[in-house]
Structure 1
Amino acid sequence: MSANVPIVRQVSWPAIIIIILVWGLFIATAVFFLQKHGYFIGVVLFILITILLQQAIPKSHNKGMKAIKQKDFKTALAYFKQSADYFTRYNWVDKYRALTLLSASKMCYREMALCNIAFCYVQTMEAEKAKALYEQILKEYPDNGIAYYALNSINTFSNKAD
């Protein structure tokens, strides 16, 4: 059983406002110090730092997404476990992701990693592990629609098999 990539990020509007303020701070600082080309340099610097942060910090998550797109679910599973561990250990990075990662994602990276681990379990025919993990996700993140609908699907299919 194979499906498309499981996570499409929803946007957090407060995070977008924070990111716009950070962007404005970059531009204002660059204009103050480099007057003539400050605006351009501020924008370029902001973009470069955004790319650097979003590639360097959630490295395991990005590798997991790449593996999942290649339908290499066992490799993706290992990367998402690393990602979940990282964002569990450094939960402040995830909590303040609008500043630390310049990310406007509504769903935190740990939550995404757990959903992707469960998705990989489904793809590798480990439905019981997926079911248990989706239940855990709903305990920690009760508004997680992905876990809710995936768990309903698993329960529906397991009831039909009985």
Structure 2
Amino acid sequence: MASNVPVVKQVAWIAVIPQTIVLFLIGWICYLCGATNPVFPAAATYFLLGYILRNTVAKDHKKGMEHVKKQDYAGAITAFEASYKFFSDNLWLDKYRYVTLLNASSMSYREMALCNIEFCYTQMGEGKKAAIYYRRVLDLSPENGIAQAGLNVLESAYK
């Protein structure tokens, strides 16, 4: 049974530029390969490539989201920690995610992993552990509104 867990997707609209360039490059390759109308094969290739990349390279993140939807927060934390480690070890993939993973998220995968871990700890009633991860997110990205708001809520609850 899937839960009604809120999912926040923040889009970096600047990502549209490199992704459009990738789409046009794929279209150009389709044209060079003899496609008379390269729009459909280019679009299909682009979406298929994005799907494959997000389901293979970011597989731990996807597993974590599946656990969250099932309200298996302990399993989700394990998957998000693996995702954080993978993207920490491969910073370039995360930094250039607009092109490497065709992902337009304004949050890096490392930032998303930490935010998701803090959410899971909050859902498990472990506010002190969640606060640690909120602070880690703010160290990584001081302007993260999710972490700022969550930490404010937790701090006001403990006062």
Partner amino acid, structure 2, of 1:54: R
| Paired position in structure 2 for 1:18 | 18
Unaligned runs of 5+ in 1: none
**RMSD across aligned C-alpha pairs, in angstroms?**
1.5
Q: CA separation in 1, counterparts of 2:131 and 2:6?
A: 15
Q: Which ranges of 4 or more aligned residues in structure 1 deviate by more than 6 Å? A: none
Is the 2:13–2:104 Cα contact (8 Å) retained in structure 1?
yes
Specify which structure has the higher proportion of helix.
Answer: 1
Is the 1:28–1:39 Cα contact (8 Å) retained in structure 2?
no
Partner amino acid, structure 2, of 1:156: S
Q: CA separation in 2, counterparts of 1:104 and 1:76?
A: 23
Is the 2:55–2:62 Cα contact (8 Å) retained in structure 1?
yes
| Paired position in structure 2 for 1:50 | 50
Q: How high is the TM-score relative to the length of structure 1?
A: 0.91
Is the 1:32–1:38 Cα contact (8 Å) retained in structure 2?
no
| Paired position in structure 1 for 2:98 | 98
Q: CA separation in 1, counterparts of 2:52 and 2:132?
A: 35
Q: How high is the TM-score relative to the length of structure 2?
A: 0.93
| Paired position in structure 1 for 2:89 | 89
Is the 1:31–1:42 Cα contact (8 Å) retained in structure 2?
no
| Deviation for aligned residue 1:136 | 2.0
| Paired position in structure 2 for 1:36 | 36
Percent identity for Structure 1 against Structure 2: 39
Bigger mean CA deviation after superposition, 36-45 or 47-56: 36-45
The size of the alignment, in residue pairs, is 157
Relative to structure 1, the CA distance from residue 112 to residue 6 in structure 2 (aligned partners, 3 Å threshold; closer, same or farther) is farther
| Deviation for aligned residue 1:4 | 4.9
Unaligned runs of 5+ in 2: none
1:30-83 alpha-carbon deviations (Å, 9 max, x no partner): 012223253322222112111111111110000100110111101101000101
| Deviation for aligned residue 1:7 | 4.3
